[in-house]
């Protein structure tokens, strides 16, 4: 019976040592992340925004703090990556963090500036599961909520297996007159966008999606 307390004491010591190792490891990760953030800030001052963005991303991968995510967004803003910048900055500002609170006015001004470059695009089609592509990049499957796009002209494509691809050139407005441009929604003229069955496809029984553009 007298051996048990000794065993318990040894186990407690082992647990404390393990906790110390974890704490040191977490401290090392935080220090590494901070070093990469500082490097990114220095690169921003040197106007090397692409290298700064990569440094901030490495910092966030090592230690995903709201501050690191905000720095990513600001570098994306400098590079004109407006959709990514809005997403990342909005996410960082939504988190409860001392650094975010202290810099909220600056971050809000940056977000307002970013939003001036964006519009919302809403598309409907007659084929569930069709994919929407914008300027050659897959964006989402349909139906879907409105997506954020860079304001200006673009080419959208609606693709679905066994259907002919529909392409339309569109122009999304800048929405400068709206205090919250993200609430704007653009619908291309004549939607929903109907997909026509590809000529090589087999005929479908009654009740299949409309083959006519509507």
Q: Contact, 49 vs 75, CB < 8 A? A: yes
Question: Which residues face 171 on adjacent strands?
Answer: 153
Among 46, 80, 115, the domain boundary falls at 115
Predicted local distance difference test score (pLDDT) of residue 170: 85
**In the predicted model, what is the mean pLDDT of residues 142-164?**
91
Cα-based angle 203, 188, 162 (whole degrees, multiple of 5):
20
Q: DSSP string of 98-158? A: HHHHHTHHHHHHHHHHHHTTEEEE---BSSTTPEEEETTEEEEESS---EEEESEEEEEEE
CA 186, 140, 50, 76 dihedral sign is positive
Is the same domain home to 64 and 162?
no
Among 115, 133, 156, the domain boundary falls at 115
Is the same domain home to 91 and 134?
no
Q: Which two tokens stand for residue 188?
A: 């291309």
pLDDT higher than 70, residue 10: no
Q: Which of 118-122, 159-163, 208-212 has the lowest mean pLDDT?
A: 208-212
Is the same domain home to 105 and 194?
no
The total of structural domains in the chain comes to 2
Is the same domain home to 100 and 141?
no
Is the same domain home to 40 and 84?
yes
Is the same domain home to 29 and 46?
yes
pLDDT higher than 80, residue 143: yes
Q: At 105, is the pLDDT very low, low, confident or very high (cuts 50, 70, 90)? A: very high
Range of the domain at 10: 3-115
Is the same domain home to 125 and 140?
yes
Distance CA 185, CA 52 (A): 33
Between these two residues, 133 and 214, which has the higher pLDDT value?
133
Predicted local distance difference test score (pLDDT) of residue 172: 76
**In the predicted model, what is the mean pLDDT of residues 165-186?**
56
Is the same domain home to 84 and 138?
no
Predicted local distance difference test score (pLDDT) of residue 205: 30
Predicted local distance difference test score (pLDDT) of residue 186: 40
**In the predicted model, what is the mean pLDDT of residues 109-133?**
92
Is the same domain home to 29 and 105?
yes
Quickly tell me which residue has 């703090």 as its tokens.
65
Which are the contacts of 79, defined by CB distance < 8 A and separation ≥ 6?
49, 50, 53
Between these two residues, 29 and 160, which has the higher pLDDT value?
160
**In the predicted model, what is the mean pLDDT of residues 34-49?**
97
Three-state DSSP class for residue 169:
strand
pLDDT higher than 80, residue 76: yes
pLDDT higher than 90, residue 61: yes
Among 97, 115, 133, the domain boundary falls at 115
Is the same domain home to 106 and 124?
no
pLDDT averaged over the chain? 78
We report the CATH number of the domain holding residue 78 as 1.25.40.10
Q: Which of 20-29, 88-97, 109-118 has the lowest mean pLDDT?
A: 20-29
Predicted local distance difference test score (pLDDT) of residue 124: 87
Predicted local distance difference test score (pLDDT) of residue 116: 93
pLDDT higher than 50, residue 207: no
We report the CATH number of the domain holding residue 136 as 2.60.40
Predicted local distance difference test score (pLDDT) of residue 199: 52
Distance CA 31, CA 161 (A): 50
Q: Which two tokens stand for residue 18?
A: 């393990």
């Amino acid at each position: 019976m007298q051996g048990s307390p000794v065993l318990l004491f040894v186990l407690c010591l082992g647990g404390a040592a393990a906790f110390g190792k974890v704490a040191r490891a977490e401290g090392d990760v935080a220090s590494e992340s901070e070093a990469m953030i500082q490097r990114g800030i220095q690169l921003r001052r040197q106007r090397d925004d692409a290298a700064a963005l990569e440094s901030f991303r490495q910092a966030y991968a090592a230690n995903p703090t709201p501050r690191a995510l905000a720095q990513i967004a600001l570098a994306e803003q400098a590079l004109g990556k407006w959709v990514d910048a809005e997403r990342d900055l909005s996410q960082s500002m939504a988190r409860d963090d001392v650094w975010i609170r202290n810099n909220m006015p600056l971050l809000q001004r940056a977000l307002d500036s970013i939003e001036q470059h964006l519009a919302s695009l809403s598309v409907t089609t007659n084929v569930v599961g069709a994919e929407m592509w914008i300027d050659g990049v897959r964006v989402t499957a349909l139906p879907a909520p409105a997506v954020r796009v860079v304001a200006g002209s673009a080419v959208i494509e609606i693709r679905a297996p066994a259907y002919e691809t529909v392409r339309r050139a569109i122009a999304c407005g800048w929405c400068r007159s709206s205090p919250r441009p993200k609430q704007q929604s653009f619908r291309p003229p004549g939607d929903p966008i109907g997909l026509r069955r590809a000529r090589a496809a087999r005929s479908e029984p009654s009740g299949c999606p409309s083959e006519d553009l509507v």
